[in-house]
């Protein structure tokens, strides 16, 4: 059951992020959708309990913890501290580094854990979603504002 939950959580996470990257310029929609993204913490916490209950590899807990840390940093930076590191990378590069490290570690975990412990097909699907996520992220970024801040 844990493997299926992990796979579904990875798919939903990727779909959310792809959609968020697509609508990033529509702030009112983005803020509404963004709040729902944090609800993914519920199945992640449940997954950690399943790891213990099903005596699964500790790597699941580690990657679910990384995912929860990413969600926490996203919430902290965007909703509590309101750090505009995406708009001014030169000024806010210090908070951007752990955020990006968690982002890539979280995505790595979804691909690798599914590939190794669920199915290669599932891992390939997750890798495909991650590639789409990166392409959409890059194509919708305002590269002119990044150039000015770096």
pLDDT tens digits, one per residue of 82-137: 878 777 778 888 888 999 999 999 999 999 999 998 899 999 999 999 999 999 98
Q: How far apart are CA 39 and CA 92, in angstroms?
A: 27
Global confidence as pTM: 0.86
55 sits in the region (left: phi over 0; alpha: psi -120 to 50; else beta) called left
Query: Alpha carbon 17 to chain centroid distance?
Result: 7
Q: Is-contact 33 20, C-beta < 8 A?
A: yes
For 52-79, what is each residue's pLDDT tens digit?
Answer: 999 988 999 999 999 999 999 999 988 8
CA distances from 60 to 2, 10, 30, 52, 103 (A): 9, 12, 30, 10, 16
């Amino acid at each position: 059951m844990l493997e299926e939950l992990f796979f579904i959580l990875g798919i939903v996470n990727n779909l959310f992020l792809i959609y968020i990257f697509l609508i990033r310029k529509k702030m009112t929609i983005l803020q509404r959708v963004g709040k729902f993204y944090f609800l993914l913490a519920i199945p992640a916490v449940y997954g950690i309990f399943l790891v213990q209950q099903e005596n699964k590899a500790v790597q699941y807990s580690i990657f679910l913890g990384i995912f929860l840390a990413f969600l926490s940093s996203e919430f902290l930076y965007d909703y509590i501290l309101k750090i505009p590191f995406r708009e001014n990378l030169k000024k806010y590069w210090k908070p951007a580094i752990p955020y990006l490290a968690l982002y890539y570690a979280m995505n790595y975990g979804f691909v690798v854990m599914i590939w190794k412990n669920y199915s290669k097909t599932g891992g390939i699907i997750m890798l495909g979603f991650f590639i789409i996520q990166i392409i959409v992220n890059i194509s919708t970024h305002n590269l002119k504002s990044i150039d000015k801040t770096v």
